[in-house]
Amino acid sequence: MTTPKSPEQSASLPLDKGGPEKDTPERKNFSPKPLVLGAVFGVLFGFLLQKGGVAKYHILIGTLLLEDFTVVKVMLTAIIVGSIGIFSLHALGLVKLHVKPTRYAANIIGGLLFGVGFALMGYCPGTGAAALGQGNLDAISAIIGLMIGSYLFAEVSGRLEMTVMKWGDRGKLMLPELVKVSLATFLMVWIPMLLIILVALDRFTLR
Amino acid sequence: MRTVISFNIGLSVFSPLAALAAPPGTHPYDYPGGAWSPYLVGALIGILSMLTFYFSNKPLGASTAYARLAGMLGNVAAPKHTKSLKFYQDNKPAVDWEVMLLVGAILGAFLAAWQGGELSFEWLPPMWAARFGQDTLVIRLAVALVGGILVAFGARLAGGCTSGHGISGALQLSVGSWVALICFFVGGIAAAMLMYRI
B103-157 confidence digits (pLDDT tens): 999 999 999 999 999 999 999 999 999 999 999 999 999 999 999 999 999 999 9
3-state class of A8 per DSSP?
A: helix
Q: What is the pLDDT of residue A27?
A: 55
Instruction: Mark which residues 3-62 of B lie under 8 Å from A by CB.
Output: 3-5, 7-11, 22, 27-36, 38-39, 41-60, 62
Say if residues A43 and B104 touch (Cβ distance below 8 Å).
yes
Q: Which of A48, A148, A155 has the CB atom closest to B45's CB atom?
A: A48
Best of A47, A66, A80, A203 to disrupt the B interface (most B CBs within 10 Å) is: A47
pLDDT category, B176, cuts 50, 70, 90? very high
* Residue B168, min C-alpha distance to chain A (Å): 8
Q: What is the pLDDT of residues A64-111, one digit of tens each?
A: 999 999 999 999 999 999 999 999 999 999 999 999 999 999 999 999
Q: Which of B57, B159, B185 has the CB atom closest to A103's CB atom?
A: B159
**Position A45: which residue type?**
F
What CA–CA distance (Å, rounded) separates A153 from B67?
A: 9
pLDDT category, A172, cuts 50, 70, 90? very high
Q: How many CB atoms lie within 10 A of CB A33?
A: 10
**What is the Cα gyration radius of chain B?**
20
A vs B, Cβ pairs < 8 A, gives: 588
Q: What is the pLDDT of residue A5?
A: 47
Say what percent of chain B tops pLDDT 90: 87
Name the burial class of residue B89, with classes exposed (0-12), middle (13-18) and buried (19+) by CB atoms within 10 angstroms of its CB: middle
Chain mean pLDDT for chain B: 91
Q: Does position B19 have pLDDT exceeding 70, yes or no? A: no
Q: What is the pLDDT of residue A45?
A: 98
Contacts of residue A201 in chain B, CB cutoff 8 Å? none
Contact B152 A207 (CB under 8 A): no
Task: Tell whether B76 lies on the interface with A, counting CB pairs under 8 A.
Answer: no
Contact B191 A64 (CB under 8 A): yes
Q: Where are the beta strands (DSSP E) in chain A?
A: 102-103, 169-171
Contacts of residue B108 in chain A, CB cutoff 8 Å? 42-50, 130, 133
Q: What is the pLDDT of residue A28?
A: 57
What CA–CA distance (Å, rounded) separates B128 from B134?
A: 8
Name the burial class of residue B128, with classes exposed (0-12), middle (13-18) and buried (19+) by CB atoms within 10 angstroms of its CB: buried
- A171 to chain B: closest CA residue: B176
Say what percent of chain A tops pLDDT 70: 90
Name the burial class of residue A206, with classes exposed (0-12), middle (13-18) and buried (19+) by CB atoms within 10 angstroms of its CB: middle
